[in-house]
Amino acid sequence: MPHEPRPRARASSTNRGGDLVGAVINVVLLYLLNFRPGWQVVDFLTPETAAVLGIVNATLIVSAVGGLLYAVIGSRAFRALGGVVTSAVALAATIAVWRVFPFDFSAYAFDWALVARILLMLGMVGTAIGIIVSLGMFARAVMSGADRG
């Protein structure tokens, strides 16, 4: 039985709408984090937060730009490559937050520091897996020649 190529699926307007909503959410978070009210009002963040703010901002900016581009460019290969880039920046940010650990949960009876460390570790593992998956999706899209969808 001969192999028949799958029909190419185009990104739906729902996906594009979700990409735009995600971009807007990232811009709002960027504003809230840096301007009003600012990260300083969060009682468990320490002054060391300033040391990771640049890479956290980069993650929000890259994700916002990615969302806007995904809404315009329907290429599976482009989306997969964008996933590699956004995930790599997110991984760098998560590693930076792990190293600096700009949190002070001493005012709380529960061990939130342990929870934060576990969540950061899960984030690093999940993001690393996401990079590998996106690389595979990119290779598959390029090799199949299915650059739209």
Question: 30-82: per-residue pLDDT in tens?
Answer: 999 999 999 999 999 999 999 999 999 999 999 999 999 999 997 999 999 99
pLDDT of residue 97: 98
The residues near 106 (Cβ < 8 Å, ≥ 6 apart) are: none
pLDDT of residue 3: 58
Total domains present in the chain: 1
pLDDT of residue 120: 98
Residue 4: inside a domain: no
| pTM of the shown model | 0.86
Residue 135: inside a domain: yes
With CA atoms as reference, report the closest residue to 87 among 42, 32, 133: 133
The span from the CA of 118 to the CA of 115, in Å, is 5
- Greater confidence, 4 or 45? 45
Residue 1: inside a domain: no
Residue 5: inside a domain: no
Residue 8: inside a domain: no
The span from the CA of 80 to the CA of 147, in Å, is 11
pLDDT of residue 10: 52
Bridge partners for 45 per DSSP: 103
Residue 83: inside a domain: yes
User: What's the domain range around 116?
Assistant: 13-144
Residue 128: inside a domain: yes
Residue 6: inside a domain: no
Q: What are phi and psi of 95, to 5 degrees?
A: -65, -40
